[in-house]
Each structure stands twice: as structure tokens, then as C-alpha cells.
Amino acid sequence: MNMDKILSRLPIKALRDRVPLVPVVRLDGVIAAQGSPLRPALNLASMAEPIERAFAMKGAKAVALAINSPGGSPVQSALLHGRIRLLADEKKLPVYVFCEDVAASGGYWIACAGDEIYAAETSIIGSIGVIAATFGFEGAMEKIGVERRLFTAGDKKSLLDPFLPLEEDDLKRLTALQKEIHDAFKKHVRNRREGHLKADEAELFSGEFWTGARAEGLGLIDGLGDLKSVLRQKFGDKVRLPVVGAEKSWLQRRLGLSSQLPAMNLAGDLLATAEVRAHWARYGL
């Protein structure tokens, strides 16, 4: 009698106990503290509950993370990573990360939560750096005949105001702040990828990004492969891979809306959507 027939005759509970279980959590999108129905964001608030449920699933042999993110908030990246590692250590479960189109910047920060990291040959990996973007509208208000009135308490409250000339001291402060965040990012990667990194730090931490094939050679990932194939190799062809997602209310399911539902601000959401698009566009996506 073959194994499939034997398993088919077992009670459901016994069958489940014998078939390996690896819950899958999807981490998709730009990482930001807040989102909206038009611009869902990846953050701890939106993902804490599904992450907790995945690690709490009875009989789980590991937890898998499917990541597709161009980055965003370093704080939310660190919070998500921290929660994943806290639960992994608490439950003593290995974490396997699978990078899809892109796991860059904050997306790679989160990916480092994995005990092993995999990607497709053509995935985009890396961008271990810090970026800040703004605009300069100096003189624009005068040209259109609008007087701007700015009132502050504290001589640094108007730091990098886009309607004022760029001050050298302001630029130095921003550069110092970015260096602190970059140093924290580099330390994080060193700690999580200790013994795996295979290139000079000047190259790894330059902010450059690479394909999955090149990232494997640099030691940023452990191998090439997709989620189902790799986990079948590790746990057998019968492994169960249930996707654990954020729960939505009946109305959200009915209307197809995101689980993040602050009051809609159409103009603000459209601008934010353009910003999100720019995040993905950096990687040709």
C-alpha cells in the first residue's frame, strides 16, 4: 500500500500531525507608518496580528516569509524584524525568507529576520543605504504673489524648509542623521549575516542593489529558489503552506478595501500613491 493510501485512512487530526506545517506570511508593499485604502502600507500595526498567528499555529515546523518590498521607513522595518525574531526565538521556530520581485532597503532589513534567505535569480536585492528626498521652492511663492508666514519656537524647527534657501548647517545635520541610520543598518546586516558576507563592506553598504544571482555570490542571500520548491525540499512534498493574512471586516471584504481605513484624503492619497510609485520605479518595477 502506498503512502498516500495510508494517509487517506488516518483520522484528520492524525493526518495533520504527520504532515509538516509551515505557515506563510506575505509582507508586501512600501514600508510606512500609515497607509490608506488607496495606499496600503507595510508596518507593524498592519502585520503584528498575522505574524503572531503564524508563529502560534499548532504543529508548525517553521514560518516562511514572502517579501516583496522596495523599502521605506527604517523604524517600521526594524519593528517588523524585531517582532519576527522575538517570536522565532520564543517559539524556537526557524524562519525562511523568500524574496520576490524586490527586497531592497527596508525590505532587505526585514529579510534579515530569516535564518535562511532565498530569492529568484532575477529578484532585486540590497540597497543597504539611506535616502532622503525633498524639493526646493525658493522664490516660487514670490513669483505667484503669495506671502508665506512661518512661526517657530526653536531655531532649528524650520530645518530643510523647502521654501527657504538650503543652509549648510541644515545639510550637515541631515547628513549626520543619515549616517547614524546607515550605521545602524550596516550593524544589523553584519549581525544577521555574520559568516555569510563575501564582499568588501564598501561594496555591500554602498546603497547598490543586485539581482538574486549576484546577491547569492555576495552572501546577502543563501540560495536561489521559490517558496514552494525550497520548502518541499526541506519538509517533503506533502508540506502544508497556509497563507496567514490580516483579517478584514465584512465591509472591507465586500468592498475589496485594505484593512487600513483612516479617513480618505483623495488629494493626499494621490500624492502618496505617486511617492509609492517612485519607490518601486527605482528598481525598474
Looking at domain 12-127+208-281, what is its CATH homologous superfamily? 2-enoyl-CoA Hydratase; Chain A, domain 1 (3.90.226.10)
**Whether pLDDT at 7 is above 50:** no
Q: What is the pLDDT of residues 184-235, one digit of tens each?
A: 999 999 999 999 999 999 999 999 999 999 999 999 999 999 999 999 999 9
Each domain of the chain, given as residue ranges in start order, spans: 12-127+208-281
Please compute, for residue 17, the number of CA atoms within 13 A of its CA located in the half-sphere on the CB side.
Answer: 5
Cα distance between residue 135 and residue 228, in whole Å: 44
End-to-end CA, the chain: 50
The model carries a pTM of: 0.79
Q: What is the mean pLDDT of the chain?
A: 82
Q: What is the pLDDT of residues 16-63, one digit of tens each?
A: 557 999 999 999 999 998 766 556 789 999 999 999 999 999 999 999
Q: What is the pLDDT of residues 239-284, one digit of tens each?
A: 999 999 866 544 444 444 455 545 445 544 555 555 566 666 666 6
